[in-house]
Amino acid sequence: MVQSKQGETKTTRARYTLEFKQEAVRLVEGGQSIAAAARTLGVVDQTLFNWVKAQRAGKLTGADSKLVSAEQMEISRLRAELARVKMERDILGKSDGVLRKGIDVKYAFIQRHRRVWPISVQCRVLGVSVAGYHEHFVRRASDDHRRHLSDDALLVHIKAIHAQSRGSYGWPRVWRDLLARGIRVGKERVQKLMQLHGIRAKGKRRFKVTTDSRHDLPIAPNLLGQQFNVAEPDKVWVGDITYIATDEGWLFLAVVIDLFSRQVVGWSLRSDMTRSIVIDALRMAWFKRHPGKNAGVIFHSDRGSQYASGEFTAVLAEYGITSSMSRKGNCWDNACSETLFGSLKVERLHGQRFNTRRQAMDEVIGWLLWYNRERLHSTLDYVSPMRFEENWQANQPRQASA
């Protein structure tokens, strides 16, 4: 302290530094009231309140000033520092070895003592981030909420999934979809709730066979032999044709399915069932997948005249694809396509009346896109065909760049 000639203490107009203000704000954040912290530091309550407000708004600076002795400033700074050090010492003493434990243990300690010391101070002392702490407990609270959903809340999710599938999902697919959405629940509970509220998958119906194998065209050997499990994409494609009734007449659908993922990689919709419909579907698959002429693709179909025609077999030869055909009268040789058509008709077409072919086309294409992208497939461990291929691709070793 500097004395004047008259023996008075000399004061100067000094600026509060940014560091001083930050220490003052830390006292408040450390649990002290503004009034108590202001008394400790020797500043006006309103001044400290303004600093706290500015700090929270990210606008705290060291610009304001008042008449204060250098000694008062130093005493106030030391008081703030002492209060901070004491708090950190108390935290370390109470934590009793938590510093050497894993991050989850540290988070749990901070959570237990959040009403004793500020979270930000505990995080700094224990060497974890405030953001990481909050993210941990927000995520855990969300998981706990999902695990402990009431029946009414769970039923809302079940009905939403069932509606999105247009009534096609039974309890196994609904349960798998719930798991995929992060809702952990037992399958027995889902099954019981759906039964209790009359929520069920649409029933399956029998459909007519469209194959016309009464012809003298060449028949390819059955190379597939009902071996429907394929190790990689674009090794076996399966083709088939079905029909949909409209007020304008029949609408025919030809598809090409990649047997690896059950993805529909090509399709064609026409008002007639000529060889053009299967050629168009094959060309779509070829230009979508680009397997290459040396890929060794097998194309399996029934013995229908469209697939046995010279025009279709010429396109197969053009693409380097080998033809395979089912045994006569054996629908199980092409079971995958029959299953696809059954799902389409039960899940989307049954009970609908289409005034025009265009209406039916829109409905069919919408279902095919949904099927590829979203529909959970039991054969694929309840993921969609596209997700199944993406997962497979992600697990393949990366090829070294040239």
Residue 346 DSSP code: I
Reported as a pLDDT band with limits 50, 70 and 90, residue 346 is: confident
Q: Each residue of 7-56: pLDDT tens digit?
A: 444 444 445 667 677 777 877 776 667 887 777 667 778 888 888 888 88
Reported as a pLDDT band with limits 50, 70 and 90, residue 123 is: confident
Q: Each residue of 45-92: pLDDT tens digit?
A: 888 888 888 888 877 776 554 545 566 666 666 776 777 777 777 777
**What is the per-residue pLDDT for 11?**
46
User: CA 191, 195, 201, 207 torsion: positive or negative?
Assistant: positive
Burial of 359 (0-12, 13-18, 19+ CB in 10 A): middle
**What is the per-residue pLDDT for 199?**
80
Q: Each residue of 293-335: pLDDT tens digit?
A: 888 899 998 888 889 899 999 999 999 999 988 766 555 556 7
CA distance 35 to 51: 13
CA distance 77 to 97: 31
More confident residue, 110 or 152: 110
DSSP string, 172-197: HHHHHHHHHTT----HHHHHHHHHHT
Residues in CB range of 165: below 8 A, 6 or more apart: 173, 347, 375
Q: Each residue of 250-263: pLDDT tens digit?
A: 999 999 999 999 99
**What is the per-residue pLDDT for 212?**
52
Residues in CB range of 257: below 8 A, 6 or more apart: 237, 238, 239, 240, 263, 264, 265, 336, 337, 340
**What is the per-residue pLDDT for 299?**
93
Average pLDDT, integer, range 273-290: 92
**What is the per-residue pLDDT for 402?**
40
What percentage of the chain reaches a pLDDT higher than 90? 22
More confident residue, 112 or 287: 287
Would the pLDDT of 210 be above 60? no
